Structure 1
Amino acid sequence: MIYIAPIVAVALLSVLAAGTGGCSGEPTRNELRCRRLGGTEAKAAHDGLRILVGSHVVDSAITAGRVARCESAAAAVFVAVEEARRRLPRELRRPVDVHLDPRGHHPPDGVETLIAHGALLVDGRRGANLDQSIWLHELIHVAAAGSRPSDPIGSRLIAAVDEAAADYGAAVVLGRTHLGPPGPRGARDLEDGEALRPAAFHALAVGEGFDAHGFGLPLAAALLDQEAEPGALLEDLVTTLGGRGAPWPQSVGAAGAVQALVTRCPPRSRDGLATALEDWLPPELLP
């Protein structure tokens, strides 16, 4: 019988849990998978997904870096995002650049979507450990990227719809209502969505203190009541937000933004979306 000292056993278990080999130069499982998909050059790029390093962000402008090699954090983030993309309905999979540890901006929650670019900014130290619901939420934002109403109130309201669509999509794809681990914004559960309070509508009107995530959560729950699996409602809402429709009217306000959203939605999902919106908003904000 071969005796393994307890300290050595713990070290071996730690290595196995981390997905690494026994030698320091041996590739991890993530690196091997990344290399299989990345081709002969072992780059973290496949089927429209690219992990970029050395990017620079100034305000909302990005100077893209280079495609990362399948090593360390880049490989781990590549595998996590690729897995989330495969979970999405094919109609919602979009090309996406993931900027790993970009200079000039630190994503406060580990990952952030730049809607104008359809790109993700990721903290390499946290990215590999993010819950799949977070990746799905952000990838749905990428799929929903498009023009928005120009007036402030309409823009804020549609931003909340965007957050609702991302939460709803993550929930139906994963088959659970609990989204994300505790963090700066906290975990969310669609079953806990409460009716919006007057203070939320005041913030919608004036802008100060407006929380698109919190404002949109009851809508995500209402959408879930309409269709609890990935299907036409999710696809049509995301593509409607993504600009596959008529341009947004100018100076529409809240009711006008809701009317434009429903009008832009394909007929097969229009009634379901309208019902969810009625459950979400008071009559004064409905067309």
Structure 2
Amino acid sequence: MSGYKHTGPVPCDTDFDVSTVNGKTAIVTGGANGLGEAYVRALVQAGISVCFGDLDVERGNKLENELNGKAKFVKCDTTNWEDQLNLFETAKALSPSSKIHYAVANAGIAAKDEVFEYNEFGPTKPSLKTVEVNLHGALYTTKLSTHYFIKQNGKQPSQEQEDTCLILIGSGAAFLDVARGPTYPATKWAIRGIMHSLRRTAHYYGSRVNVISPWYVKTKILAEEAFEQVKSKGVEFATTEDAGSCLLRILSDKSVNGHSFFLSARKWASRGYLDLDLEDYEDGLLKEIQNDQLANAPPEAGLMI
């Protein structure tokens, strides 16, 4: 794999071959419900061994049983380093090749935003649980993924490197104005930052990194009343089935690195997802600044840029 180079958006309305991922091993955080469950089911259907973590033990065990031994559930609080380490070690132990090929940093919450909340008696310390789950947890997954990928493939480019890929789950909220709720969008903007940092070093250890940013999808991340209110305004939702297809589109193509995909309503994309093509600067001042940064940054400013 060569270093990152922007070559335009990835076509998302064409067929793809999932046989390339058969026999691999993947990790999914937050995999017992909603989008995480959709990712687990899609991976299993493609012939991938899956180890998924979640705090919902009842649903996690039920899903494991439904998948007849093709997926392993591990209780995991993604804000807890030891829990995530255990998830990765379990996946490695269960992997037919003792290797981890794909990791999906999916776990996330959208709690009440106390940063915006006003108290007439004076400001109170806001809960930042959303930051802990959506950002700290994703950084733990990123740390562990890159460790295992480098350990498996080495630190220098080689023809013997196996394809590995980290998928970070962002949100349409990282691109759109979300009134009265700054915390959740802030965490999802940060997910884009992780991808931007990693995509230019991927060729050193055979790994790729991409982002999937969902539009409204009816899951447990919001209350039923919230989704009904959105639906009443005529909003068309994306689907969990299209989420699974988007994931496999990325994993099946080794050339896809450093892109943001939008999981969308079908009215915007024929298959329910598209490459936003918003992560690069074609020209102008930012393009010049980016080029100077890449050419002149000292090694300690970034891992092997």
TM-score, normalised via structure 1 length? 0.26
Structure (1/2) with the larger helix percentage: 1
The structure with higher relative contact order (CA 8 Å, sep 6+) is 2
TM-score, normalised via structure 2 length? 0.25
